[in-house]
Amino acid sequence: MNRLGHEVLAAVLQVRSRSLQVLLWQRAREPQAGHWALPGGQLGADEDVETSVRRQLAEKVDVRHLSHVEQLAVFSGPDRVPGPRVIATAFVGLVPSDNDPVVPADTRWFSIDALPETAFDHEAIILRARDRLRNKLSYTNLGFALAPPAFTVSALREIYSAALGHRVSATNLQRVLSRRGQLTPTGQTVSPGPTGGRPAALFRFTCRDIRITDPFAVLRPPNARR
């Protein structure tokens, strides 16, 4: 059998400073020295792609900050990297907005709207990861992976707006997430800021494992849990 290189790559996304950002490191060596790349590397002999991506991400970021990791897609164009052929299995990873992981000196967060010069096909992978996140925010409870453990609706609106790339109404967001059972009040409130107003209620995500939240009840088995 024709034998090929195989690497794993991860687009780690976080809402930071009201924008959706991705973690990149700057290549020190050729090819494409100076270009910014996704964390990852060669698949090891005794590991599957999921084990490999967590091992390799650990070199760039404390993986305990990762609230969700999933396979994104295989990138397999014959010329996607120079030299011998390498197939990539790409992942998307998410970090809650209240975390600020320590990263190495060669590694930085970049807004996806203002990417630097990226390596190889990594920009296409980043944009695919962004689109996957946006889609899953609509039909799953994946907001849990971007949000802190407890949040006001106003804070959650900022996170969804940044991730989706357009302004979301706080009222509508609360209504649809509540209708789908995604939000649970913690019973606590936060004080209003110096400008006054009423204390704001704190919420948490009801569930912190990804699931489809679509209310298309007719397609669920009769006795399925919500």
Contact residues for its own copies (CB under 8 A)?
A: 1-6, 42-50, 71, 73-74, 76-78, 84-87, 89, 135, 137-139, 160, 164-169, 172-173, 175-176, 212, 214, 216-222
> What's the token pair of residue 211?
């699931």
List, in sequence order, every residue forming a beta bridge with 41; answer none if it has no partner.
8
> Residue 8: what are its φ and ψ, rounded to 5°?
-115, 145
Helix axis angle for 122-139 and 153-164, nearest 10°, is: 140
Q: How far is the CB of 170 from its own copies (least distance, A)?
A: 10
> What's the token pair of residue 60?
């760039």
Cβ closest to its own copies, residue 36 vs residue 91? 91
Cβ closest to its own copies, residue 67 vs residue 141? 141
Q: How far is the CB of 193 from its own copies (least distance, A)?
A: 25
Q: Which residues, including other chains, have CB under 8 Å from residue 80's CB and lie 6 or more apart?
A: 86, 88, 120, 121
Cβ closest to its own copies, residue 35 vs residue 85? 85
Half-sphere exposure of 211 (CA within 13 A, CB side): 13
Residue type at 149 in one-letter notation: P
Cβ closest to its own copies, residue 49 vs residue 200? 49
Host H or E run for residue 51: helix 49-57
Cβ closest to its own copies, residue 30 vs residue 46? 46
Q: How far is the CB of 164 from its own copies (least distance, A)?
A: 6
- Give yes or no for a contact between 141 and 178, defined as CB atoms under 8 angstroms apart: no
